[in-house]
Amino acid sequence: MKARGKSFRVKYLQLLLFHIVMALVIYQFNPAGKIFLFAIIGYFLIKIFSSGNRNDEILIAAAYITGFEVFSRMLGGVGFSYEFAKYVVIGFMLLGMFFKGFNRKSWPYVIFLLLLIPGVLFSAINLDYDSSVGNAIGFNLSGPVCLAITALYCYNRKMVKERFQEVLLALLLPIIATTTYLYVYTPNVRDVLTGTQSNFEASGGFGPNQVATILGLGVFILFSRLLIIKDRLVNIIDVVLLALICYRGIVTFSRGGMITAAVCAVLFVFFYYFRISSKEKGSLIPKIVFIVIVIGVTWLRSSFVTEGLIDKRYANQDAAGRVKEDITTGRKDLINEELQAFYDYPITGVGVGKTKEFREQITGYATATHNEVSRMLSEHGIFGLTALAILLFTPLIFRLSNKSNPYLISFLLFWLLTINHSSMRISAPAFVYGLTLISIVSFEKKDRIYRKSVITE
């Protein structure tokens, strides 16, 4: 995709500069994070209502909030709720459906939402008296509901490839701000190293798992931009950003986000290669080799700065070089306990939010889940199993008749891998899942579709 000249580059540089400065201002004055966020939400609402969402401003707004979520949590929360971003994304998607409706063929996601109801009812009956039913349901179901509403809006929604890249850029820009904040928060990673475990100080004082997940998503978006966007200046900037974000993602010492990014990138190359011309294939290989070299150098830099600890982390070793017995860092036990709840209550499950109490009864520890698949099974029973099947197979069936979106398989895998190591604690897997269902069309076709809808109305 050829970039659209000087104005494209200038706009990109302006947006980058704005978000770098924003991160620096927020570092000096934390409350500025809330000011920026609500100002941006207000800006998007004005854009949406003034245009009637003609150019899918809804998706750009939702993408931005998704990218900003982890940054807001690093700042101590800038919304009214810990799940603030998910609620805002849901709100934007519902607003989008008010303007444009949704595709009738997206009915599997309506069924998915209905399948969540029995678990909610059983939760209200089954949760301990000292538990907050509302908080338990909000924490565990805000992610799945966000996913379903996003999927309803996105299903077979027509979008030109340039606009789709703008949605991805809106998702990327707050990640760049997050990375900038990390560099000023911990300028010297070596000073905060304590071993091979996930490092909170290198993650802005927040959960390394969530930080690595969103940084990994940024790495993948930049990787895909380097292959798709054909503009030398933009490519140079993107490869520098790729190295910078990849480095900070690696030194969180949380492996899930970076491994997910790598797997998604490999799959993207595979599917993208078979959809481009022979001439483009010839220039693709050198690009990929160069990117791999950049990532390799970034890894070597990470290894040097961490004095080899990062190599041991990815080799599943402790600081002394001894191989750890459990490569999943305790997640295997959590999954087994949740599967046991499914075996004990295969029809109804234990109820939304009840798995934590179920685990406490067995082990004495009330640990939250890290795996959305086992959580759905344990809390929703056979209804959860059916719901998961809908989420997995609907995009794959959609792709059989619509191969226009080169991101479909990579984004579906991002969702699947992320929910298996980080559950749905952030909105990113839910929103990215919705993007798998977008149809990429030519500008002329999109214009014809819009004019037809106006005439029909």
How much is the pTM? 0.92
What's the pLDDT at 451? 43
State CA 77 to chain mean position distance: 18
H-helix or E-strand containing 113?
Answer: helix 107-126
Share of the chain above pLDDT 70, in %: 89
pLDDT in tens, the chain (457 residues): 665 667 888 999 999 999 999 999 999 999 999 999 999 999 999 999 999 998 899 999 999 999 999 999 988 876 667 889 999 999 999 999 998 888 989 999 999 999 999 888 887 776 554 555 667 677 788 999 999 999 999 999 999 999 999 999 999 999 999 999 999 999 888 888 878 888 888 888 888 999 999 999 999 999 999 999 989 999 999 999 999 999 999 999 999 999 999 999 999 999 998 888 888 888 898 999 999 999 999 999 999 999 899 999 998 887 777 787 666 566 777 888 888 888 988 998 888 877 777 777 776 666 767 789 998 998 899 999 999 999 999 999 999 989 999 999 999 999 999 999 888 889 999 999 999 999 998 755 554 544 444 333 3
Task: State the number of CA atoms in the 13 A half-sphere of 320 facing the CB.
Answer: 2
pLDDT of residue 134: 65
Q: Which candidate, 325, 321, 322, places its Cα nearest to that of 333?
A: 325
Q: How many Å apart are CA 355 and CA 276, to the nearest integer?
A: 47
Residue 364 has what pLDDT?
65
Question: 270 CB contacts (<8 Å, ≥6 apart)?
Answer: none
CA distance 457 to 454: 5
211-237 b/e (C-beta count within 10 Å ≥ 16 → b): bbbbbbbbbbbbbbbbbbbebeebbeb
- Determine the pLDDT at residue 151: 97
Q: What is the pLDDT of residue 19?
A: 97
Residues 6 or more apart whose Cβ sits within 8 Å of residue 293: none
Backbone phi, then psi, for 439, in 5-degree steps? -100, 125
- Residue 310 has phi, psi (to 5 degrees) of -70, -35
- The confidence score (pLDDT) of residue 267 equals 95
Radius of gyration of the chain (CA): 22
Cα–Cα dist 171/222, whole Å: 11
pLDDT tens sequence across 149-161: 999 999 999 999 9
Give 286's Cβ-side CA count (13 Å radius): 4
Residue whose pair of structure tokens reads 């966020």 in the numeric block: 37
